[in-house]
Structure 1
Amino acid sequence: MQKLLLSVMIGSALAATAVQASSHREAPGIARAPALDSTDFYAFNSYESGREGYVTLIANYIPLQDAYGGPNYFAMDPAAEYAIHIDNDGDAMEDISFALKFTPMLAADNQGVALTVGPDGNQRSVKVPLKNIGPVSAEDMSAVNFSEQYSLTMVEGDMRTGARTEIMPMDAMYFAKPLDYIGNKTFSSTAEYQRYADQYVYDVMLPGCEMPARVFVGQRKDPFVVNLGKTFDLVNYVPVEGDSMPGAGDGNGFPGGITQSDSNDDLADKNVTSIALEVPASCVTGDGNGTIGAWTTASLPQARILNPNATFSKPEVQGGAMTQVSRLGNPLVNELVIGIGDKDKFSSSHPADDGQFADYVTHPALPELLNILFRDAVNSTLGTDIETLAPTNFPRTDLVTAFLTGFPGVNQLATVTPTEMLRLNTAIPATPAAEQSWAGVAGDDLAGFPNGRRPGDDVVDIALRVVMGRLCYPIPVNGEETDLGLCDSSDASVGNVPFTDGAPLDASMMDTSFPYLATPLPGSE
């Protein structure tokens, strides 16, 4: 009972750090470098049948991809180092990292496909401007003109100074990334594109592991859903459920409130680029208690000098130490929790240094913004005289406990160091996709957010409700209304209101096997 109670507490409280979108273009600096922008990060116990005992880690990059975005589409930055980090003892330092570096390649010995143009006696060999010159399939990739290979390195200890082991695929000469889903004249159909992309799932052996891991890098349908445009237009909708219950269609909820509709998802037509790893849990938990903390980063050399005579293989030169420019653990921390003047600092910071951002958790600005935007309208609509919509329990020790330390017996690491990362208890069995709750732990599903995060966990609606004080009211635990003792209902005037952005999300929108995210959208039908 105590374990379940704490699970529900963290399920609600940690969500308060992730409101209304995921980390797309979240900081001024990274908005200028989309290839380095981490949009979402997931860590969960694998729920594919037969994959018990495995952990899946997914880092999505390059936000807001329009499927038709040719002719160059969406390549990774060859100067960057992308990484997924794991802390398995709670000291806020990475114990294991998986680092990837990408190399773009052209066909014809890196010169690119050329066509013979002109009549006899006046012919030229002219390079083509496209990434492919004909149809591509799982069996025939001869028309591919551009490709990306990548290296995978496992680092044990400090990311910069630890022991590095290069990982190779078990049944291939090198790792490669599939072409983006250019369209159906190139790939003929969604099913055929997926069959083509499936060839880029590699089995690998990791140091000290008896069972193989898996890796995939490639374009996927953006799994996140959010009412993005209206949300950042000063929340240009009434963010309260307008039906008596989600999807009821009766209009008997809050007057004028938004109702659930796929049309509210502004990312419905967007793709992302995913780095997905599935590793045996026993190989990443170390000597800790079975709970891990995880996050993703992207780094660049300190100096980049443009080549005035740029070529495909050498558009620039780089030098200096690798410098972190992007970081993501829990969703939306940098986007709507950290102040705009500190966003780039957070992007470059290490979890061990998160104490400098404590005020953003103990005294969050977002509830005050929502109060400014909606208090008068709420009072006018309901005929009330509510003094403030924002919770008044300061400091927000409930959020500090949940957001920075975790809860004992649920997702607290062996050593407790206040820090921001996504925490996953690998000992809690995965919930099959058909049985998952979009509300995660708060929906009586211990395998969901914030015990890690699965693609079908709707962190938006959970977060909206909690940031406005849901934890100050009793919540159901095993069917019983339970006061968590974190704050009082008098501290949160609207804490029991069903806040929502109206964009539904659940596990049925994802695949049920690795890499779990759905096939990307085609550039043309």
Structure 2
Amino acid sequence: NPELALYMDDSRFGGAVPSLNALRIQQKSLGSFDFRNGKKGLFALKGTPALDNTALSEANFGGILLPDSASPRAVDLLPIFYTGVPNLRPYQLATGKPESSPLSAGKPFINNFLPTLGDMLRLNMAVPVTPRNSPDFSSLGLVKAAVLGLTDSRFTASGTALQFIPNMDGFPNGRRLEDDVTTIELQAVGGVVLAAIGLWFDDYVAGQSPVTPRLVNNISFTSGPTRNDTTFKTSFPYVQTPWRGFDYTLKPRF
């Protein structure tokens, strides 16, 4: 829900939920783009040549992803959780994009777009499974895949070339049992996907690393427990029998 961003905005209710202090939505990304609730986001570019041949053009999906001047998060939260994400500009990682050019072509990332508005899981089956014993495996799903694609030399060295990045099979591209869905969703509301495509956080300075303190705060955020209190089964249904509330022994917090 984009309204959660009200609690990640110091001009609104940013101090109301201290546990969300690490998450602060962009209000002047690249010096001009404001993604706070009710602001314009990228809408000022709607219908301009800057969006030609992008997913945001009127010839493609601009009517869905840039619907009006007061829905700035339709450009990221809507495709992430509601329509899927097309492998079109600007929905490619900032890797390989010129500095401060989020609309340019970048590193292909995920392609599971269906132009149907519906709250459903969409899965790109072309993405290989990340082995559970891989040192790259992470419960942060696509967020971790984006971090690797932006910072790991195995993937940054090849620029805009298509590569399979570990955890591209994670939520919200489908859902693995280990995925920390709540943390991923809150990081997304906090603007991490905007940053991943080059709409950096407000503390970014041109010519310097985009891995700024605000970006680090976002990708380091957790919503609570970071591991299960039991194991998964090796066969269907894979999850253990739920704990019985009347005889469950309280365990220390993680």
Q: TM-score with structure 1 length normalisation? A: 0.24
Which of the pair has the greater relative contact order for Cα pairs under 8 Å at 6+ separation? 1
Computing the radius of gyration from Cα coordinates, the structure with the larger value is: 1
Q: TM-score with structure 2 length normalisation? A: 0.46
